[in-house]
Amino acid sequence: MPTAGAVRAVDWVARYDELSAGREALGAEGLDELGLAAWFLGREADSVQAWGEAHEAYLAAGDTDAAIRSAFWLCYTLGQRAEYVRAGAWMARLIDLAGDSPSPRSAAAAMLCRAVATLEFGGVEEAVDLSGRAIELSRAAGDLDFEVLATMALGRALVAGGDARAGLACLDRVMLTISTEGVSDRVAGPAYCAVISSCLERWDVERARVWTRDLSDWCDAQRGLEPFRGECSVHRATVLQLVGEWTEAADTLSEVSVRERREQTLENALYGLGELHRLAGRTAEAEDAYRQAGALGREVQPGLALLRRDAGRAATARTGIARALEAGPALRTRTELLAGQVELEVDGGDLAVAERAAAALRELAETFDTPYLHAQADRAEAHVHLATDAPDAALPLLRRSWAAWRRLDAPYHAAITRVLLGRASRALGDEEAAQLEFDAARTVLTDLGAAPDLARLERIASPGARTDAAGGLTRREVEVIRLIASGRSNREIADHLFLSEHTVARHVSNILAKLGVANRAGATAFAFEHGIAATA
């Protein structure tokens, strides 16, 4: 994957001051550049006024193409700020002007504006068609800026429509063009942010890591830059958290939370900060960050649920995640909610819910085909296998998941997976292997400062530690002995639990051995003596 070449350094503060000082004498081009400088500095009202004046000056000079271009940037910028009424008014003017102009560039601008607006309001299939036509018109006009924006719109529309492979290929072309072919700064910033957001939405962290580094270089070269600095920092913090640089990630997000004005960027920064506080065991700080993010409208699950779990409020945690999933969250949030639901439900909750969540996560991984999602799905499915006393099925999934986390350089996820590997090894009777996995996980979690996870690890890592029911029975074995006590045969138990008859026979054998009884009658007597049968 290519990286960007030399980045052009621009002092937008000096440029804005210079143009503002001579504003009365500026022509259309000067006003256009003043609008751009104001936009880069976050002076949004100034940028809209200057571009509006540039538009009128271009029209007065008879330069319809340039006037349409100014109208496009006004429409695009206002749309990005969700000022849809004013954006729509400029779009209508742009299309009217383009209808009177035979220029290919005017036609490209009008088509691109329609494509972007259609995608913004959810018309995915139509946006794919309009974006493709905008690309063709932009190429005919020789306008690289418009071609890049149209390709970006096509990529996002394809991804939104379920064709992630083709969509991400479009976004890669956008990044390659920016890094090698001299796209203007006014296009580079929005393109970087939109592409990285699309990558992170689908947990394509390998792409996001490359393009985030390039975006950081580009931002650093723009003195006074405001519109992308906060969003760039949030993207960067996401990558830093993944690779285990938690202190730097927290410092980055803290800075954004103090200075950011855009609510969407601010709420994401606050939620990310809450996650880092939670992972480190800073409960009060996490609670405060989630509260602030929630006040801005950000979904604070699964982070808040996992915080509640750590405080011993498992029922509240499970309810919170279920509620958030019912709300139909965006893909990135949905994957994290499903992973959190598996984790919570296998630990004293509803195994059927955990199984459904793991299956949904697997479906998402197959659809979007990124290493992160595959690793997450493998771990979730293995977790369910462990809860249903099938460590032999869990082990290969966990090994594959751990290998993926290691390739992604994601130490926290790798360590959590090794804890499960330890549990699987113990369940298979290999205590030595279990302790090796626990020790490896402990080292990483200690280095990261993951206090709650360390506490959980210590509760299960001691060789004598058990969390089983009476007689040392696992959750699945309790289900089986209840059915034994109700008089069911192995075949009937297998049908009831959706297991093979061979697996049920193995469970029965393990139950008899653990309880030290000779037959099913002895197991039935044990179940009634210990109150197990009564809850069947």
Q: Which token pair is 347?
A: 């630990």
- CA 58 from chain centre, in angstroms, equals 43
The larger pLDDT score, comparing residue 436 to residue 466, is at 436
Mean pLDDT of 66-86: 85
Closest CA to 45 of 32, 60, 35, 30: 35
pLDDT (0 to 100) of residue 76: 82
The 3-state DSSP class for residue 473 equals coil
Q: What is the pLDDT of residues 237-269, one digit of tens each?
A: 999 999 999 999 999 999 999 988 788 889 999
Q: What is the pLDDT of residues 281-340, one digit of tens each?
A: 999 999 999 999 999 999 999 999 999 999 989 889 999 999 999 998 888 899 999 999
What is the percent of the chain with per-residue pLDDT over 70, rounded to a whole number? 96
Is a pLDDT exceeding 60 seen at residue 411?
A: yes
Q: Output DSSP code: residue 181.
A: S
pLDDT (0 to 100) of residue 536: 37
- How confident is residue 35, by pLDDT bands cut at 50, 70 and 90? very high
Q: Which token pair is 176?
A: 């390659």
Mean pLDDT of 485-499: 87
The answer to whether 317 touches 347, Cβ cutoff 8 Å, is no
Q: Which residues of 208-234 are buried (b: 16+ CB within 10 A; e: fewer)?
A: bbbbbebbbebbeebebbbbbbbbbbb
CB count, 10 Å around CB of 533? Answer: 19
Q: What is the pLDDT of residues 79-106, one digit of tens each?
A: 777 788 998 899 899 888 888 777 888 8
- How confident is residue 3, by pLDDT bands cut at 50, 70 and 90? very low
pLDDT (0 to 100) of residue 453: 95
pLDDT (0 to 100) of residue 519: 92
The larger pLDDT score, comparing residue 468 to residue 250, is at 250
> Taking all residues of the chain, what is their mean pLDDT, rounded to a whole number?
88
Mean pLDDT of 182-197: 83
pLDDT (0 to 100) of residue 4: 41
- List, in sequence order, every residue forming a beta bridge with 10; answer none if it has no partner: 222
- Phi, psi for residue 203 in degrees, rounded to 5: 55, 40
pLDDT (0 to 100) of residue 283: 96
Query: What distance in Å separates the CA atoms of residue 190 and residue 152, rounded to the nearest whole number?
Result: 10
pLDDT (0 to 100) of residue 275: 98
Mean pLDDT of 165-192: 84
Q: Side chain identity at 495, as an amino acid letter?
A: D
pLDDT (0 to 100) of residue 183: 84
Q: What is the pLDDT of residues 422-462, one digit of tens each?
A: 999 998 889 899 999 999 999 999 999 999 999 999 988 87
Closest CA to 303 of 317, 314, 316, 292: 317
pLDDT (0 to 100) of residue 356: 96
Angle 266-271-274 from CA coordinates, rounded to 5°: 125
Query: What distance in Å separates the CA atoms of residue 382 and residue 398, rounded to the nearest whole number?
Result: 6
pLDDT (0 to 100) of residue 61: 93
pTM: 0.74
Cis, bond preceding 411 (omega within 30 deg of 0)? no
3-class DSSP string for 278-289: HHHCCHHHHHHH
Q: Output DSSP code: residue 517.
A: -
Query: What distance in Å separates the CA atoms of residue 81 and residue 351, rounded to the nearest whole number?
Result: 44
Domains of the chain (ranges, CATH numbers): 10-218 (1.25.40.10), 370-467 (1.25.40.10), 470-535 (1.10.10.10)
- How confident is residue 465, by pLDDT bands cut at 50, 70 and 90? low
Query: What distance in Å separates the CA atoms of residue 222 and residue 369, rounded to the nearest whole number?
Result: 35
3-class DSSP string for 354-394: HHHHHHHHHHHHHHHCCHHHHHHHHHHHHHHHHHCCCHHHH
Q: Which residues of 113-123 are buried (b: 16+ CB within 10 A; e: fewer)?
A: bbbbbbbbeeb
The 3-state DSSP class for residue 464 equals coil
**DSSP secondary structure, 222-276, as one string:** EET--TTHHHHHHHHHHHHHHTT-HHHHHHHHHHHHHH---HHHHHHHHHHHHHH
What is the percent of the chain with per-residue pLDDT over 90, rounded to a whole number? 52
Burial of 521 (0-12, 13-18, 19+ CB in 10 A): exposed
Closest CA to 340 of 365, 317, 362: 317
- Residue showing tokens 């064709």: 163
CB count, 10 Å around CB of 454? Answer: 18
